[in-house]
Amino acid sequence: MNHEFIDLQPVAHVQGAVRLPGSKSISNRILLLSALSQGDVAIVDLLASDDTAVMLAALRSLGVQWTEEKTATGTIHHVKGVAGVLPNKSADLFMGNAGTAIRPLTAALAVIGGDYTLHGVPRMHERPIGDLVDALNAAGTNVEYTGNPGFPPLHIKQGKIHAQRLSVRGDVSSQFLTALLMVAPLMAREHAIAIDVVGELISKPYIEITLNLIRRFGVTVGQDGWESFTIEPGQVYQSPGTIHVEGDASSASYFLAAGAIAGGPVRVEGVGKDSIQGDVRFAAALEQMGVQITMGDNWIEARSNGVLKAIDADFNHIPDAAMTIAIAALYADGTSTLRNIASWRVKETDRIAAMATELRKVGAIVEEGADYIKVTPPAVITPATIDTYDDHRMAMCFSLVSLDGAARKGNVMRINDPKCVGKTFPEYFAAFAAIAK
């Protein structure tokens, strides 16, 4: 693979099975919970990617010991929990562009206290963190901005937690609430801690992942709908012993969509009907588009029933996987509308603008709004050179535009900067080639 670009030949049919890499969201949550726990944790099938490498390096800089064991079937990471007391009281931490790493880690370091700096790539310094910092500082932590207020880089000093109630906005990123929930047991030493959500909570399935994992580590969270959460005092994270990382449901979306567009059947292994990830609901969106979906405990399979039906739906609950729906819309029988996706604008790039720009290159008619995108498919998809904006999901999404090759008579799709998939799925293009017939 050329680092500057990859050329994808037209593919008329896809078929096969793909073993998914571990979930990014689950991997980085488990890493931090393991580090904060009492006891040692064995993590099976942790995702190997840029975002998890960032978290592992940060934990090591903080004095958390971990080792990686290669096995016949995958990897086991052994993490020695520090029971909420970090060995290193000062560290300078590079967080790349990993929102799933910087947000919970900021909260943990702010509550534990010390002398820490956190920074990342330029795009990370454009991704909001102010609502989280405001919630933390209102409770008594001492987090300062060293660049633009409301954004990393950050400098964390020793504070003193005095609050018993915190409130945080829910409508920018669910990661702010995730971060507070994960550190709430560290704050609830003498008193219960309540966290109130201000405004609508977006991306609720990601909060479900957080709550599920917190409970796996032995802490009980009380819940009043999606408005308020309570953690009783005196709870400590306990090692679950061994914990398995599910396959990444967001990554599954590309292969399921491929089966939907170009025949199939395509089966993804590592997620299924028992998944704790909301992005498995992507399969239901494909079903609305007329795709035949079957599910087992640990697998999902998609096959095409012909032309896809256009869709008009609210995708607030699955913002990452919804990007793949915008590509599937190129193969639908009319105009598709994806609604309530404002969070796209504060992700790895402004994904509404990026998606609109690149979809137009291949011939689609696109209307974009503050929180929606409308895609009208072209009669024939035009070959194009796709820019990826240093965004892994843009690269993976637009690989699908090489499908249905019969319509395009040998035209090549070029994807610029394909190595950006390393953020979550370094082997993506090899896995995609393996199902392309």
- For the annotated catalytic residues, the residue numbers are 320
Helices 319-328 and 351-361 meet at what angle, rounded to 10? 10
Question: Measuring CA to CA, which residue among 366, 376, 398 is closest to residue 385?
Answer: 398
Walk across the sheet containing 312-314 and list its strands.
Answer: 312-314, 336-339, 373-376, 365-368
DSSP string, 350-414: -HHHHHHHHHHHTT-EEEE-SS-EEEE--SSPPP-EEP-TT-HHHHHHHHGGGB-GGGTTTPPEE
Q: How far apart (Å, rounded) are the C-alpha atoms in residues 75 and 81?
A: 19
Question: Measuring CA to CA, which residue among 292, 388, 343, 392 is closest to residue 21?
Answer: 392
Question: Measuring CA to CA, which residue among 277, 284, 131 is closest to residue 204?
Answer: 277
Cβ atoms < 10 Å from Cβ of 135: 24
Q: How far apart (Å, rounded) are the C-alpha atoms in residues 320 and 138?
A: 31
β-pair type (299-303, 263-269): antiparallel
Q: Helices marked H in 262-350 — which ranges?
A: 282-288, 319-328
- Do residues 97 and 126 make contact, with C-beta atoms less than 8 angstroms apart? no
The rounded radius of gyration (Å) of the Cα atoms in the chain is 22
Q: How remote is the C-alpha of 412 from its chain's centroid?
A: 30
Sequence-ordered strand ranges (E) for 105-161 = 115-119, 142-145, 154-157
Question: Measuring CA to CA, which residue among 21, 51, 7 is closest to residue 271?
Answer: 21
